[in-house]
Structure 1
Amino acid sequence: MNRINSVLLLVLMIQVFLVAVVYWPQQEELVADPAKPLLAIDRAAVAGIRLEDDQGNEALLQRVAGRWQLPARQDLPADTALVERLLRVLTEEWHGYPIATSVAARQRFEVASYRFQRRVTLLGDDGAQLGTVFLGTAPAFRRIHARSDADEAIYSIAFNSFEAPAHDAGWLEPRLLQVQAPRRIQGAGFALAQTDSGDWRAANGATPEPRELEALLVSLANLQVDGIASEDQQRSLAAATPAFSVRAVAAAEERNLDFYQLEGEHFVHDPRHDLFFTVSAYDFDRLQTLDSARLNGRP
């Protein structure tokens, strides 16, 4: 009886061993190279960037004469700081040791060629693909999973998906319509000009109230566009009347800015561009609520 028990115990131990060998979670073989960027590409060779998301949206950036622009949006300038941040993360920064390499992990972290949140492709001068990175889920605040299409290693990098938008408006240079150091400004109920000595005078010769003048100059210098009106909005705005307008002349250029309200949103248009741009309610309001009497030097 004891012999039978011993045999059964031995058989059981063998079965447990086999189960452990077959089903025990396997450690993935990780690439031990923490000093490796996602793409071994010289940033100077990058002439274009194509970004896609899982909804079929796409953005295209091109570098022309050293400047990044949006070819699908009348070659409007792109946000250089945002572009450089993306390129630095993809081609220069070291992201430590990879966290996984398996096919299952690619799908789970959404960095597979068929399942991703962002696909970022760097292009050369001739349009040839230099490399592609897939951006996936966020494991923690301000971090995201990423994988190069030429590597199995998956990394957790310090980046956010909103820093790589797959729509042109997200790359627009926000300072596009800012007016720096104007010499003349005209708006609803006021007209100001700067003298050769640097003083400001209203059309009636009076001195503008300093705080109101400062508010006007700061508003123009810090005006930011934060997007592009949709096609339906573009059509509606083209037939609408501006809520107010500001004309500003600087040393090298003139800005004619028309501001609009439409269904609770705020827009600005500059005749130099065919498009209407979205602005914040804050930027809109601080220009609309300027006191023309104080700008004209009256109490």
Structure 2
Amino acid sequence: MKKMITAALALLLVQVGLVLVLNMGSKGIEANTPDTLFLNFSPDAVQSLQITDGEGKTIVVKKDPSGWLMPEHFSAPVSGNKVKALVEKLAGIKQGFIVATSTDAAKRFKVDAGNFADHVVLQGADKTLADFYVGTAPVFRQVHARRADSNAIITIALSSFELETAADKWLDTSVATIKDADLVGLSVGDIKLKKTAEGWQLEGLKEGEKINGKEVDALVTSACGLAVQDVLDPKQVAGLFSNPVFGFTTVRKDGRNVEYLFGKGKDDYYVLKASDRNLYFKVHALPVENLQKMTREKLIEGTKVTGEVSNAPDQK
């Protein structure tokens, strides 16, 4: 019996040794303390974030005095909340036990420099704060990962879906929206609204005519609430604005007049160009078409709506 136990223990030791040898990389087995931070950086120190996916698509977001931007996508504004959420999550991720350390294992788990699902680099003002690879997913919301300065392959709580490389996933979709408190005037075709202490007033009301507050509020809400879907290449869409199909002008509390013009190609969306930005945005058709349908008659109580007028901007 003792000989059998001794033989079994010897076999176990051989198996453990074999596993260690197979998983040893050039640096050997590395020390690792589970449940400690995977990365070591302060979220406030991050100045840029770069993500490259397995197909070679890369997104770069960079901090600017005006906020976060995508320098390689026409410097379009980025959702600061999205950047903050991801950076803070990465800073707080805990690491588990080492899964493997060999070069072959890195390729197998797709955390190799030449074979990965995602490669993430965080830069500070003058140095790299974090550089790591994300690979296969053993379970839901878990991935294998490896820091660029380490051979250790571990499992962390992260998903590749959180590492988007498409510009529209990072875009600040509220870039064209207006706070109601900042809007003091609105012109849409022959509709001219002005905000007073008593509320919105429609210019040119005749004696006895009364403004339809519900319709006015709906118009203002629609004009203020435009959400953009993507940033577009000026070379492909700027020509649409030689003959814009629709437009309106806003007057801001600070005295600025900001014009919103819309172009329409063969696609089922509109292209927005606001006069305060040198950018072109894709917007959904429905809110634009609802604005186009608004007429002065609808804003006056008791007026019979006889038809719709064109709200296309005047050509200069």
Q: Could you tell me the TM-score, scaled by structure 2's length?
A: 0.74
Following superposition, the deviation at residue 94 of structure 1 comes to 3.2
* Residue aligning to 1:242: 244
Alpha-carbon distance in 2 for matches of 1:208, 1:50? 52
Q: What is the aligned counterpart of 1:267 among 264, 267, 271?
A: 271
Do 1:183 and 1:194's aligned partners in 2 also have CA atoms closer than 8 Å?
Answer: yes
Query: Cα gap change, 1:292/1:109 in structure 2, threshold over 3 Å: closer, same or farther?
Result: farther
The yes-or-no answer on 1:94 pairing with 2:93 is yes
Following superposition, the deviation at residue 236 of structure 1 comes to 4.2
Query: Cα gap change, 1:135/1:296 in structure 2, threshold over 3 Å: closer, same or farther?
Result: farther
Stretch moving more, 217-226 or 64-73: 64-73
SS at match of 2:237: helix
Following superposition, the deviation at residue 207 of structure 1 comes to 4.4
Counterpart residue identity of residue 277, structure 2: H
Residues matched between the structures, number: 279
Following superposition, the deviation at residue 143 of structure 1 comes to 5.0
SS at match of 1:154: strand
Query: Cα gap change, 1:223/1:98 in structure 2, threshold over 3 Å: closer, same or farther?
Result: farther
Do 1:237 and 1:276's aligned partners in 2 also have CA atoms closer than 8 Å?
Answer: no
Query: Cα gap change, 1:109/1:202 in structure 2, threshold over 3 Å: closer, same or farther?
Result: farther
Alpha-carbon distance in 2 for matches of 1:129, 1:72? 20
Do 1:208 and 1:294's aligned partners in 2 also have CA atoms closer than 8 Å?
Answer: no
1:50-89 equivalences under 5 Å are 50-65=50-65, 67-89=67-89
Following superposition, the deviation at residue 22 of structure 1 comes to 6.0
The yes-or-no answer on 1:150 pairing with 2:139 is no
Alpha-carbon distance in 1 for matches of 2:50, 2:143? 19
SS at match of 1:87: helix
Counterpart residue identity of residue 265, structure 1: Y
Counterpart residue identity of residue 222, structure 1: G
* Residue aligning to 2:258: 255
Counterpart residue identity of residue 261, structure 2: D
Alpha-carbon distance in 2 for matches of 1:210, 1:107? 65
Following superposition, the deviation at residue 46 of structure 1 comes to 1.6
Alpha-carbon distance in 2 for matches of 1:95, 1:169? 29
Alpha-carbon distance in 2 for matches of 1:24, 1:208? 85
Query: Cα gap change, 1:292/1:125 in structure 2, threshold over 3 Å: closer, same or farther?
Result: same
Counterpart residue identity of residue 252, structure 2: A
Alpha-carbon distance in 2 for matches of 1:137, 1:236? 44
Deviations 1:107-159 (A, max 9, x none): 34422221123222111213x32221223344555554443223423224244
Alpha-carbon distance in 2 for matches of 1:140, 1:261? 45
The yes-or-no answer on 1:284 pairing with 2:285 is no
Alpha-carbon distance in 1 for matches of 2:251, 2:174? 17
Aligned CA-pair RMSD: 3.3
Following superposition, the deviation at residue 224 of structure 1 comes to 1.5
1:23-34 equivalences under 5 Å are 26=19, 31-34=32-35
Do 1:60 and 1:168's aligned partners in 2 also have CA atoms closer than 8 Å?
Answer: no
Following superposition, the deviation at residue 226 of structure 1 comes to 1.8
SS at match of 1:287: helix
Following superposition, the deviation at residue 216 of structure 1 comes to 2.1
Alpha-carbon distance in 1 for matches of 2:58, 2:11? 50
Query: Cα gap change, 1:64/1:245 in structure 2, threshold over 3 Å: closer, same or farther?
Result: same
Unaligned runs of 5+ residues in structure 1 are: 1-13
SS at match of 1:131: strand
Following superposition, the deviation at residue 187 of structure 1 comes to 1.0
Following superposition, the deviation at residue 24 of structure 1 comes to 11
SS at match of 1:100: strand
* Residue aligning to 2:187: 186
Do 1:118 and 1:166's aligned partners in 2 also have CA atoms closer than 8 Å?
Answer: no
Counterpart residue identity of residue 112, structure 2: A
Q: Could you tell me the TM-score, scaled by structure 1's length?
A: 0.78
* Residue aligning to 2:170: 171
Do 2:82 and 2:170's aligned partners in 1 also have CA atoms closer than 8 Å?
Answer: yes
